[in-house]
Amino acid sequence: MAGRGRAPRWIAGLLLAGLVGCGGAGGAATDTTSADVRRLLDRRAQAVLDRDAGAYVATEVPSTVAAGERAAARTEFTRLRTVPLASWSYRVTGFHRSGDRATVAADLRYRIDGYDRAPVVTARTLSLMRTDGRWYVASDRPAKDAGEQLWEQGTVRVVRGEHSLVLGVGQSGEALRGYAHLADRAVPAVREAWGGDWSGRVVVLVPKSLEEMAGLLGAAASGYRGIAAVTTGEVGGAAKAPADRIIVNPDAYGVLGAFGRQVVLTHETTHVATRARTSAATPLWLSEGYADWVGYRGTGRSAAQAAPELRRAVGEGQVPAGLPVDADFGFGGDAVKLARAYESGWLACRLIADRWGEVRLGDFYRAVGAHRTREGAVEGAMRDVLGTTPEKFTEQWQAYLRAQLG
């Protein structure tokens, strides 16, 4: 976990590799360009870490060349300066030069102080311009299909909780404190269910609207309408995995009651906690079902109360033929089908907890995620941890649905 002081200068170092299409008259010119660009982005990164607005703005195209660019850079920097950063660096992945213009493709890597054990990695496209013999940044924007960063959407307000850091744009301090309160309740609840093999801290991003949420995800807003929150991050990477972020859809979250809001934050916090033990071998019915199981754990909600769509189907004699497949969890499809998928996964995990015990449920989750491939992962974990087979488990699950929902 990062310390609280200023990050050392080497953290801001730029790895400039694979420069192609640099132009110029041979290797010496190419090397000079590489060094110039390296120094430019080194200065830009260090200015962010030093919270030095003047140094940051000085990396931008002079106002005499492009009016308004430096004013925009100063505004962006002011927004960014409120974010407590432990590191910030660029890794160039592509470079193309045409005369006094150049385009850099780079991975921006940054960590939030005290929360991220590994960096967020996001693709950026930087346009550069050379004037008076020096290179400057003309624009720095998300690469195609990459998400925006929160500070690109407006002034960032920061609220610190006991176990959480909430960053919001277009939100009141009171609203953000409410998110922090719920997140602070979620962390110990997840730790009690899952254990302590995770950081026990969460970062929550609260944009202004659904459209801004989609912007953070680099996706279409239509795919997340009605989804209260999502968790970003890479599965199965342990300490090397990019940091998780819980991103809230304030439009959908805002219509939930207090109970629903807490379940959502606890569900998403569970994804943060289980990330290192979740892999490509983990089916969505297990990862989403387990997160819902933790979310509802200890609330006293019955199966009929928490699974209304599945209860309706079972009541009509439509007991699912099998556990949901990953495709059933697509956000852009049928809302009823999606609800039944989540409810089915939850009740599968609830069955394991009821029949084999909560500890065994956690062991089963870890055993599935430890498998190298999807094929055989669930089968092996059911055999080794639960002493059953997928066929027998499916029959037990179907009987459980009839008993709980019929």
Asked if the structure places residue 3 within a domain, the reply is no
Are 340 and 362 within one domain? yes
Residue 245 is predicted with a pLDDT of 93
Are 270 and 158 within one domain? yes
| Alpha carbon distance 39, 33 (integer Å) | 10
315-353 tens-digit pLDDT = 999 999 999 999 999 876 788 999 999 999 999 999 999
Annotate 192-243 with DSSP letters as a single string: HHH-SSS---EEEEE-SSHHHHHHHHTS-GGGGTT--EEEE--TT-GGGSPP
Can you give the residue range of the structural domain that contains 328?
A: 279-406
180's enclosing H/E stretch is helix 173-194
Domain boundary among 91, 116, 146: 146
Are 211 and 328 within one domain? no
Residue 33 is predicted with a pLDDT of 83
Asked if the structure places residue 2 within a domain, the reply is no
123's enclosing H/E stretch is strand 120-131
Are 160 and 270 within one domain? yes
> CB-based contacts of 6: which residues, under 8 Å, 6+ apart?
49, 50
* Total of domains in the chain: 3
Asked if the structure places residue 1 within a domain, the reply is no
3-class secondary-structure state, position 285: helix
Asked if the structure places residue 37 within a domain, the reply is yes
Cβ atoms of residues 248 and 207 within 8 Å: yes
Are 172 and 95 within one domain? no
Asked if the structure places residue 127 within a domain, the reply is yes
Are 305 and 363 within one domain? yes
CATH number of the domain that 31 lies in? 3.10.450.50
β pairing state of 229-232 and 245-248: antiparallel
Domain boundary among 94, 126, 146: 146
127-178 tens-digit pLDDT = 999 999 999 999 999 999 999 999 999 999 999 999 999 999 999 999 999 9
CATH number of the domain that 252 lies in? 3.30.2010.30
Query: Residue 384, Cβ neighbours under 10 Å: how many?
Result: 11
Asked if the structure places residue 202 within a domain, the reply is yes
Kindly give the parts of the chain with pLDDT less than 50: 1-29, 236-240
Domain boundary among 85, 112, 146: 146
Are 377 and 271 within one domain? no
Are 121 and 151 within one domain? no
Are 140 and 164 within one domain? no
Are 172 and 268 within one domain? yes
Are 325 and 257 within one domain? no
Asked if the structure places residue 352 within a domain, the reply is yes
Are 45 and 119 within one domain? yes
β pairing state of 15-16 and 85-98: parallel
Query: What are the strands of the beta sheet with 134-142, ordered from one edge?
Result: 15-16, 85-98, 101-112, 120-131, 134-142
Asked if the structure places residue 84 within a domain, the reply is yes
Is the pTM higher than 0.85? yes
